[in-house]
């Protein structure tokens, strides 16, 4: 529906695909109870980081997607960074302080990075995995070099 709306209005949209980098580590070291706590906390950060017109959803075990209507890539990067930093700064009180959840995020825009839902999802997945390959905990767009590693925020 968003593709049809965008084509009619001439206004593009963006899609974020996010992978929770350390969920398997949390599940393996601390158990699925704590993994579920992390998922719920990340879901709340994602939901709080978007507008009412946006659509955020869990997409599989440790992935989330966000549809950002009438948003250009610059605006999408701002939203993605806000969410990424929120997760990076998450205080969970886990017994293993070495476990710090983070998000690897891919950003794509319609029609630049795909003309169909499938094309956009494939492009977003590729951008997300580029973030993972570049060291995780970052935002990457299609054909955009990954930025330098993020600076940890002050406690």
Report long-range pairs for 85-88 (Cβ below 8 Å, ≥24 apart).
Answer: 85/150, 85/153, 86/45, 86/48, 86/49, 87/20, 87/42, 87/45, 88/137, 88/150, 88/152, 88/153
Q: Find out whether 101 and 135 touch, Cβ atoms under 8 Å.
A: no
- Distance (Å, whole) CA 36 – CA 32: 6
What was the pLDDT predicted at 145?
47
Residue 112: pLDDT band by 50, 70, 90 thresholds? very high
Residue 16: pLDDT band by 50, 70, 90 thresholds? very high
Residues 120-151: pLDDT tens digits? Answer: 999 999 999 999 999 999 999 976 544 555 55
- Distance (Å, whole) CA 72 – CA 91: 31
Dihedral, 76, 105, 93, 89 alpha carbons, nearest 10: -50
CATH tag for 2-141 (out of 3.30.70.270, 3.40.50.170, 3.30.9.80, 1.25.40.10): 3.30.70.270
Residues 21-62: pLDDT tens digits? Answer: 988 888 888 888 888 989 999 999 999 999 999 999 999 889
């Amino acid at each position: 529906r968003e593709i049809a709306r965008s084509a009619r209005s001439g206004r593009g949209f963006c899609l974020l695909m996010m992978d929770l980098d350390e969920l398997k580590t949390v599940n393996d070291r601390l158990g699925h109870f704590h993994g579920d706590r992390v998922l719920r906390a990340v879901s709340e950060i994602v939901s709080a980081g978007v507008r009412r017109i946006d659509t955020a959803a869990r997409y599989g075990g440790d992935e989330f997607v966000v549809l950002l209507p009438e948003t250009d890539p610059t605006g999408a990067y701002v939203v993605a960074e806000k969410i990424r930093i929120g997760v990076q700064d998450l205080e969970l009180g886990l017994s293993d302080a070495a476990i710090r959840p983070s998000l690897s995020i891919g950003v794509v825009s319609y029609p630049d990075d795909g003309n169909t839902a499938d094309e956009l999802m494939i492009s977003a997945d590729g951008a997300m995995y580029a973030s993972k390959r570049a060291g995780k905990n970052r935002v990457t767009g299609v054909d955009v070099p990954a930025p330098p590693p993020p600076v940890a925020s002050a406690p």
